[in-house]
Amino acid sequence: MHNSISKRSRALIRRETISAYLFLLPSLIFFIGFVIVPMFMCLGASFFNYTMTDFEFIGLGNYVEMFQDSIFIKAFVNTVVIVVVAVPAVTVFSLWVGAAIYPMHAVSRSFFRCVFYLPVVTGTVAVAVVWKWMFNKYTGLFNYVLDGAGVIDQNISWLGDEKTALWCIILILFTTSIGQPIVLYVAALGNVDASLVEASKVDGATNLQTFWKIKWPSIMPTTLYILVITTINSFQCYALIQLLTSGGPNHSTDTIMYYIYYQAFKLNRYGYGNAMGVFLAIVIALFSIIQFRLTKAGNVD
């Protein structure tokens, strides 16, 4: 009797498992076809001198060249600067805004969520054009305001000056990156167990203590997700560079993604571009692992 139940339940589990896999199959086919296979093709092509006319095996030649390429090194440094500045800034600011608007009335909360989410749903080209107008050396809003306030006596070419261009890119990236984290933090804060918060208040905890001891650990999975997604997006910063600076002035805004595009599409050096793509994927994976480890260490069950 017991045996037959066990057999039946095993059959049911197997049937459910097969059904689940069948449901997954269409997505899996697309995932394998458009993600996994291109990844391996990219890896394979990175060992070739692959251009519009050549396809010759060169082993690690592209990788060796990559680390001797001063522009690639500069692009890598710029990319790391963007990540190191943008990711913490986006995370902290989003958490602050999320915490500030979460207790508000539903209407006000929705209003602020919409305001901060607007740059996310606005097309990158439209966002870039508006920022370009504001940064314009001759007719831009920034120079107009700063000049009017007496802060500057000579117009600044914000996107054309090595000292300011990368920071302008980071600022735009920041504004387009905070929308989703804010929405996620508001949702995550709404899911924090209210009884725990009330208990801590009864025990005499301050607001800060309640936040750090109760809320922060509860929203840690959301923080991890935001960190990983923002890191990946920052590493892959390309469209803003393409639309605003083309990597200039003097390579000061070159990022790895833009340099991959330049090598692959402008110079038709697909193999070299692929090698840089593989390197970028490895770096992103490493950063993500570190973030997983750090946030896991700080997590409280």
Partner 1 sequence: MKKLIATLLVGVMSLSLIACGAEKETKVEETKDETLQTEETQETSESTEAVEADITLWTYPIGKFADAETVNGFIATFNEKNPGINVSVEYLDYTSGDDQVTAAIEAGTTPDIIMEGPERLVSNWGAKGKMVDLSDLWDAEAMEDIALTSKAIVTACQSPDGVFYEYPLCMTTHCMAINYEMFEAADALQYINEDRTWTTENFEKAMQALKDNGVETTGVVYCGGQGGDQGTRALASNLYSAKFTNEAHNEWTMNQEAGVKGLQKLVDLSNAGLLSYDAGAVASDELQLFANGTIAMSFCWNASNEAQYASSVAFTPYAVAFPSEDGTPELCGGIWGFGIFDNGDDVKVQAAKKFIEFIADDEVQGPLSVQSTGFFPVRASYGNVYTGTADEARMSVYAEFMKYLSDYYNVAPGWAEQRTAWWNLLQQIFGGEDVQTATDNYVKISNEATLAASNS
Q: Which residues bind partner 1 (CB under 8 A)?
A: 11, 14-15, 18, 51-54, 135-139, 157-162, 165, 244-246, 248-251, 262, 265-268, 270
Q: Identify which of residues 55 and 212 has a Cβ nearer to partner 1 in the complex.
A: 55
Q: Identify which of residues 14 and 296 has a Cβ nearer to partner 1 in the complex.
A: 14
SS3 content of the chain, % helix, strand, coil (to 5): 75, 0, 20
What is the closest distance, in whole angstroms, from the C-beta atom of residue 265 to partner 1 in the complex? 5
CA distance 270 to 96: 43
Q: Which residue has the tokens 């260490």?
A: 297
- Which residues, in sequence order, are bridge partners of residue 55? 50
For the chain, give the number of residues. Answer: 301
Q: Identify which of residues 132 and 213 has a Cβ nearer to partner 1 in the complex.
A: 132
Q: Specify whether the CB–CB gap between 109 and 182 falls below 8 A.
A: no
Q: Identify which of residues 40 and 138 has a Cβ nearer to partner 1 in the complex.
A: 138
Q: Is 181 exposed, middle or buried (0-12, 13-18, 19+ CB in 10 A)?
A: buried
The 8-class DSSP code of residue 264 comes to I
CA distance 301 to 54: 56
Q: Identify which of residues 62 and 231 has a Cβ nearer to partner 1 in the complex.
A: 62
Name which of 244, 222, 221, 224 is nearest 232 in CA terms: 224
CA distance 45 to 276: 11
Q: Identify which of residues 99 and 161 has a Cβ nearer to partner 1 in the complex.
A: 161
Q: Identify which of residues 76 and 158 has a Cβ nearer to partner 1 in the complex.
A: 158
Name which of 240, 269, 234 is nearest 71 in CA terms: 269
Farthest-apart Cα atoms in the chain, separation: 92
What is the closest distance, in whole angstroms, from the C-beta atom of residue 138 to partner 1 in the complex? 5
What is the closest distance, in whole angstroms, from the C-beta atom of residue 52 to partner 1 in the complex? 5
Q: Identify which of residues 244 and 278 has a Cβ nearer to partner 1 in the complex.
A: 244
What is the closest distance, in whole angstroms, from the C-beta atom of residue 160 to partner 1 in the complex? 3
What is the closest distance, in whole angstroms, from the C-beta atom of residue 88 to partner 1 in the complex? 27
Name which of 236, 227, 219 is nearest 287 in CA terms: 227
What is the closest distance, in whole angstroms, from the C-beta atom of residue 2 to partner 1 in the complex? 22
What is the closest distance, in whole angstroms, from the C-beta atom of residue 157 to partner 1 in the complex? 5
Q: Specify whether the CB–CB gap between 273 and 62 falls below 8 A.
A: no
- Which residues, in sequence order, are bridge partners of residue 50? 55
What is the closest distance, in whole angstroms, from the C-beta atom of residue 280 to partner 1 in the complex? 19
